[in-house]
Amino acid sequence: MGMIINPMEDLLRLLGDRKNSEGVFNPYVDDRILNNLRIFFEAIREKNSGILFVGEAPGYLGARITGIPFTSGDVILSLSHPVFEGIRERIFLSRIVSERTASIFWKGMTDNRIIPVVWNAFPFHPHEPDKEMSNRRPAISELEEGKVYLKMVIDLFKPEKIVGIGRVAEGVLKSFVKNVYYLRHPSRGGKMLFLEGLMALLKGC
């Protein structure tokens, strides 16, 4: 008999082993940030709304710092969402900043009483090679790499609905997932379209 594998720990181990490279920063090489993701996943594993929201990649003010997709330090510490109320005292944050996408996303989750599963098409922070505190779109090869982790997240949580936030995430998901819902990304003036799309999704439209 082989050793029993814990799928969540297997995913976390794989994330932590990925080396930084030119233009890509892996926050999960820091065990404290990797543990933030573990704490979040444990909190939502047994009780979530059955919806996986997939974004493009971590931003330098968001998941690069927290390790949790679609979050910022400000959201984790100040938002009255039941998940954060239960875990915030155990989360490590080197900086506490606000990030617009995170604020809009979690307002939608809180107002609609959603406990979401969240992930990114590329789970590491892509930046300009000479500027770590910047964001860039993941390269095609990076999105291919990201599918390995994305498939593991889907296998782990087995969501009933899978949502691509933005066209990049939608495109990645459609390459191997049959039914993909699309939501407008909340950045760059997309707040109202994102929130309207979220309401339509919840109504089954």
Q: What predicted TM-score, i.e. pTM, was given to this entire model? A: 0.95
Domain contains 1: no
In the predicted model, is pLDDT for residue 71 greater than 50? yes
Domain contains 46: yes
Domain contains 71: yes
| Residue 109: per-residue pLDDT | 97
In the predicted model, is pLDDT for residue 204 greater than 90? no
- Tokens 């080197």: give the residue: 94
| Residue 3: per-residue pLDDT | 58
| Residue 89: per-residue pLDDT | 97
In this predicted model, what pLDDT tens digit does every residue of 39-69 receive, in sequence order? 999 999 989 999 999 999 999 999 999 999 9
Mean of the per-residue pLDDT values for the chain?
A: 95
Please give the structure tokens belonging to residue 127: 């930046």
The domain in which residue 22 lies consists of: 7-202
Domain contains 182: yes
Domain contains 97: yes
In this predicted model, what pLDDT tens digit does every residue of 105-133 receive, in sequence order? 999 999 999 999 999 999 999 999 889 99
| Phi, psi of 166, rounded to the nearest 5 degrees | 95, 160
In this predicted model, what pLDDT tens digit does every residue of 175-187 receive, in sequence order? 999 999 999 999 8
| Residue 4: per-residue pLDDT | 59
CATH number, position 130 = 3.40.470.10
Q: What is the tally of structural domains in the chain?
A: 1
| Residue 17: per-residue pLDDT | 97
| Residue 2: per-residue pLDDT | 55
Domain contains 2: no
In this predicted model, what pLDDT tens digit does every residue of 158-177 receive, in sequence order? 999 999 999 999 999 999 99
| Residue 62: per-residue pLDDT | 96
Q: Contact 201/163 with Cβ under 8 angstroms?
A: yes
CB contact burial 9-29 (16+ within 10 A = b; e otherwise): eebbeebbeeeeeebbbbbbe
Domain contains 37: yes
